[in-house]
Amino acid sequence: MSPQAGRALVLTSNYPRWPGDSTTPFVLALTAHLHSRGWLSHVLAPHAPGAARHEVLDGVPVSRFRYFWPESAETVCYGGGALVNLRKKPSNYFKLPALVAAELAATLRYAVKERVDLIHAHWSVPQGFVATTVARMLGLPSVVTVHGGDVFALGSGVITVFKRLALEKASIVTVNSSATEAAVRSISSRVTDLRRIPMGVDVNTRADPAVVRSIRAAHAAEGPLLVFVGRIVEEKGIFDLVEMMSVLRERQTDARLLLIGEGQDRPLVEERVARAGLGDRVRMTGWVEASVVPSYLAAADIVLAPSRPAPDGWIEAQGLSIIEAMAAAKPVIATRLGGIADSITDGETGVLVAPGEPAQLARAVESLLSDPEHGHRMGLRARATSVDKFSHEVVTDAFTRAYNDAVTAGRRLEGGAR
């Protein structure tokens, strides 16, 4: 471990509830890497039914604060994320004041108890507002990381006020893409230090050759295998993929589609697949362990990521599954939306099509399948991009600088006040 750089309190509403949880672990990965650089972190997250109040994951201690009773009523976060849960069950909005109040009290308590040097919030609301409020009370620097959904959606006047306060009070604000940066600047022009730092991926994962062979034997038949990894929800373009498969069948392209993930729209997808008579061409695995995903990517001929805008304003801010596919040296077909173009250069490191256009997806698939060597070269260039721009090492370097700069600036202000 590096010499201790400082102590950080990390606030997040998205964090694995237990080892092997389906919750995307990107905040855990970043925090663990910062921990290894000497930034000893304590994570504070909302409690969830069945989760431990206190535990250590990947060497990082996490505490989960209660905010509603009984615990079965703690339904704002997890299971697809707060935005999905608010959309599915509007009554969750009535629980937000309790969540914010509990998070505020817990943040103040742990910041004092742990004698932290910095508070880092993931998402501008409510974590960013809570972090900057407590940081100013205690005279601490704060970093607010905006992931996209918190600025693209939740656009009511009151919530926007809290977003603006968080962004303007933070010592440093980080965003994961150019699209997120534009959204932040549209909310406030008074952000003092705004940095574009994407979330990172493990570019050194290895597929298991035996698992890859079994995946292809089970799902690819004799034709090419198309793979999607992500939440099974409309905004991920899942219905466009089903329609794309109908188009490919009409054109007599003998491809198979494998949908990897879980989500609220799975029953609707299954119904649509059955109605279209695509049961022999489209299969769903449900949620799989993160350790197995590299083998599914390695088994793919093409990886698809056809995200589209959601009715509440959400768009794909970065798309970590896209970058994981790039790291696996696979050609990716994605949509020209949000921050995706920050990762993919059309025709060079992947293919971009318009959102909501299954026919365009089908044509792009046929084009790549007709020239496998071109797809191979595209995948190699994509991997090089993922290593250069999105590896955990590169991203951790950028966040380490942000932490150090925030603390240094805070000390200068403290010295000036004296």
The number of CA neighbours under 13 Å toward the Cβ of 381 is: 17
Phi and psi torsions of 42, nearest 5°? -125, 120
- pLDDT the model gives residue 413: 55
Is pLDDT above 90 for 411?
no
Are 124 and 10 a contacting pair, CB within 8 Å? no
Helix (H) or strand (E) holding 162: helix 157-169
Q: Where are the beta strands (DSSP E) in 17-117?
A: 39-46, 54-57, 60-65
Name residue 46's beta-bridge partners: 65
Instruction: Answer yes or no: same fold for 6-200+391-417 and 209-390.
Output: yes
- pLDDT the model gives residue 1: 39
- pLDDT the model gives residue 72: 97
How would residue 416 be classed by pLDDT, with cut points 50, 70 and 90? very low
Assigned fold of 209-390: Rossmann fold (3.40.50)
Tens digit of pLDDT for each residue in 227-254? 999 999 999 999 999 999 999 999 999 9
Assign domain 6-200+391-417 to its CATH architecture: 3-Layer(aba) Sandwich (3.40)
* Domain boundaries defined on the chain: 6-200+391-417, 209-390
Average pLDDT over residues 330-353: 98
Is pLDDT above 90 for 415?
no
pTM: 0.94
